[in-house]
């Protein structure tokens, strides 16, 4: 005969059940990924101004099939991404963030794309921009905290060594604000990530607002940034990315947006240092 369950035993069992349920709820919590929201075709709002879409969004959806919890995006301005990770407002940054040696000191990266820097200029290139060295004495725009600031610093050293006036760099928290400076003629060029610059030049105003000029600079991987104290999460994301590369959905996503040229062959960790020598 089964002994009766006393009130004390019932309370103990109830607490254990509650703890189990709470533990299960914690396990099901989504992976909160901070992202900028205005860099098409990689990540941007749809016409409704609410729905995120693009390469990064579709890639996250594909990876979710191989993760214990889904990736959910939280909009963040680029300069806020590292503080948001440090304060645990987000778990990772899955956005237009280059994997660089300096950033690898702070976070780990699961690299998912290769890109560089292109110069976005006004349609018709009225300031005759042919590359970074043609910008001495002119104004440019960049995103705060972006790798492109380093390119401005390097170019200023080149200009100064040749007794030419340095560049004036106008920095903005949002890429859309930086691009607007080109459109209004306040700057000669916006320094941004290559697939985004090419896409904007082709699509804005039917291709009659912007052009791209000069060669591609700063070819480095794009990565999911993960705090160094989350190695298990890093391993899960790397495994999920490799799975979508292996099953072919990765290449289909890139082809959908016309950015196959940036494809990686494998989900690497912290490849930025090797890419920059």
Q: Which tens digit of pLDDT belongs to each residue from 133-172?
A: 999 999 999 999 999 999 999 999 999 999 999 999 999 9
Q: Which tens digit of pLDDT belongs to each residue from 39-87?
A: 999 999 999 999 999 999 999 999 999 999 999 999 999 999 999 999 9
| Residue 27, pLDDT score | 53
| Residue 28, pLDDT score | 66
DSSP 8-state secondary structure symbol assigned to residue 155: H
Contacts of 58 (CB under 8 A, 6+ apart): 253, 256
Contacts of 39 (CB under 8 A, 6+ apart): 54, 95, 96, 175, 192, 193, 196
Q: Which tens digit of pLDDT belongs to each residue from 6-51?
A: 434 434 334 434 444 444 444 569 999 999 998 999 999 999 999 9
Q: Which residues of 219-238 are buried (b: 16+ CB within 10 A; e: fewer)?
A: ebbbbbbbbeebeebbebbb
| Residue 5, pLDDT score | 44
| Residue 273, pLDDT score | 78
| Residue 274, pLDDT score | 74
**Helix count and strand count (H, E) for the chain:** 10, 12
| Residue 25, pLDDT score | 42
Tally of CA atoms within 13 A in the half-sphere of 122 that contains its CB: 13
Closest CA to 237 of 269, 262, 259, 264: 269
Helix-strand-coil percent breakdown of the chain, rounded to 5? 40, 25, 30
Tally of CA atoms within 13 A in the half-sphere of 231 that contains its CB: 0
Q: Are 143 and 173 in contact (CB under 8 A)?
A: yes
DSSP H/E element including 214:
strand 210-227
- The rounded Cα 271 to chain-centroid distance in angstroms is 15
Contacts of 254 (CB under 8 A, 6+ apart): 55, 260, 262, 263
Q: Which tens digit of pLDDT belongs to each residue from 94-124?
A: 999 999 999 999 999 999 999 999 999 999 9
Q: Are 72 and 31 in contact (CB under 8 A)?
A: yes
Which domains does the chain show, CATH number per domain?
28-116+220-275 (3.40.190.10), 117-218 (3.40.190.10)
Q: Which tens digit of pLDDT belongs to each residue from 177-235?
A: 999 999 999 999 999 999 999 999 999 999 999 999 999 999 899 999 999 999 999 99
């Amino acid at each position: 005969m089964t002994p009766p369950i006393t009130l004390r035993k019932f309370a103990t069992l109830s607490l254990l059940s509650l703890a189990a349920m709470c533990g299960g709820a914690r396990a099901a919590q989504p992976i909160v990924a901070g992202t900028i929201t205005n860099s098409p075709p990689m990540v941007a709002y749809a016409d409704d101004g609410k729905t995120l879409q693009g390469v990064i969004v579709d890639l996250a959806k594909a990876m979710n099939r191989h993760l214990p919890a889904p990736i959910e995006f939280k909009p963040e301005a680029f300069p806020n991404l590292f503080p948001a990770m440090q304060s645990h407002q987000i778990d990772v940054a899955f956005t237009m963030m280059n994997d660089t040696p300096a950033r690898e000191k702070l976070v780990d990266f699961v690299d998912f794309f290769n890109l560089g820097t292109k110069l976005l200029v006004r349609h018709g290139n009225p300031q005759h921009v042919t590359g970074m060295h043609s910008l001495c004495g002119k104004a440019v725009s960049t995103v705060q905290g972006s790798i492109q600031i380093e390119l401005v610093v390097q170019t200023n050293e080149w200009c100064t060594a040749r007794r030419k006036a340095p560049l004036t760099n106008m920095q903005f928290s949002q890429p859309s604000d930086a691009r607007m400076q080109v459109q209004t003629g306040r700057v000669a060029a916006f320094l941004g990530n290559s697939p985004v610059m090419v896409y904007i030049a082709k699509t804005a105003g039917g291709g009659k607002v912007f052009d791209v000029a000069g060669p591609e600079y700063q070819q480095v991987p794009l990565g999911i940034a993960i705090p160094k104290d989350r190695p298990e999460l890093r391993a899960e994301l790397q495994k999920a990315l490799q799975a979508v590369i292996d099953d072919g959905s990765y290449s289909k996503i890139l082809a959908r947006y016309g950015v196959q040229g940036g494809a990686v062959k494998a989900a690497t960790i912290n490849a930025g240092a090797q890419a920059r020598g």
